[in-house]
Amino acid sequence: MVKLTNYNIVLKQFVLLLTFTLTISCAEKKYAVEKIVGKQININEKIQESTEIEKIIKPYRDRIDADLSTVLSFAPETIDKNGKWQTPMGNFLSDITLEMSNVVFEKREHKKIDFCLLNNGGIRSIIPKGNVTARTAYEVMPFENSTVVLAISGKVVLEIVDYIISEKKPHPLSGMSFTINSDGKPSNIKIGNNNLEEEKVYYVVTSDYLANGGDNMLFFKKNSQKFDLDYKLRNIIIDYFKSNKEIKANTNQRITE
């Protein structure tokens, strides 16, 4: 009788141990990262060695290179970014942006753009003397920025003038001019050939980046109307190259001291 009792106890303990073991083995295992190993794999050589990939890529690469290398115009002089309040490159870009955007705006809205303001930092290259190609346009304007026309009041124009003076950078400006007095205050502000009127509505063309407050140009958000021309700045440059056999920068003063 004692032996049977001991047997039953041992059997129960075995069953419990077996059940516990099965439960643990079936439970969800938790893993933790103990080590991360990085390894650099150079794929350039392998890609270059692949004749099949080269056969696929080459026609497209050759076509793009040919398009970018096509001569569109000629620059008799280098158009650079040298200047305190304005630069030849800034004048050139703002002038052609105003001119080319006006064609689209007048056709769509039957209105005229009054002036153009861009940012100096957005111009990433000069236009060297000699043949001008589509590649030149991509070097000058590598970004995908489009032109936007904003309706703003004359009071906002005063904020633009104050911003330019405080920035002390040659931001591209066309269609507007003013003088900086010895005390650092503006005077003789003109839009076109007319004196600025604070209550009048003016139309300014700029990039979508600046229209959204880029480069701290928050005054652009005070517009009463916004028109997206869906016309990239780079395409403006290319179209201008195509329509002008020779390109030059206008060196007239927009800001004087």
Mean per-residue pLDDT, 128-151? 96
Q: Is residue 172 within 8 Å of 116, Cβ to Cβ?
A: yes
CB 243 within 8 A of CB 96: no
What one-letter code names the amino acid at 232?
K
Q: Phi and psi for 43 in degrees, rounded to 5?
A: -100, -10
What is the pLDDT, as a whole number, of residue 125? Answer: 95
Check pLDDT > 90 for residue 16: no
**Mean pLDDT score, 12-36:** 61
Q: Which of the two residues, 24 and 101, has the higher pLDDT score?
A: 101
pLDDT at 2 over 80: no
The SS3 call for residue 1 is coil
Spatial CA neighbour of 202 closest among 230, 160, 145: 160
Cα distances (angstroms) measured from residue 24 to each of 15, 27, 29, 33, 224: 14, 5, 9, 22, 69
Written in H, E and C, the secondary structure of 176-220 is: EEEEECCCCCEEEEEECCEECCCCCEEEEEEEHHHHCCHHHCHHH
Cα–Cα distance measured from residue 92 to residue 173, given in angstroms and rounded to the nearest whole number: 9
Q: Tell me how far apart the terminal alpha carbons of the chain are, to the nearest angstrom.
A: 118
If one compares 193 and 58, the residue with the highest pLDDT of the two is 193
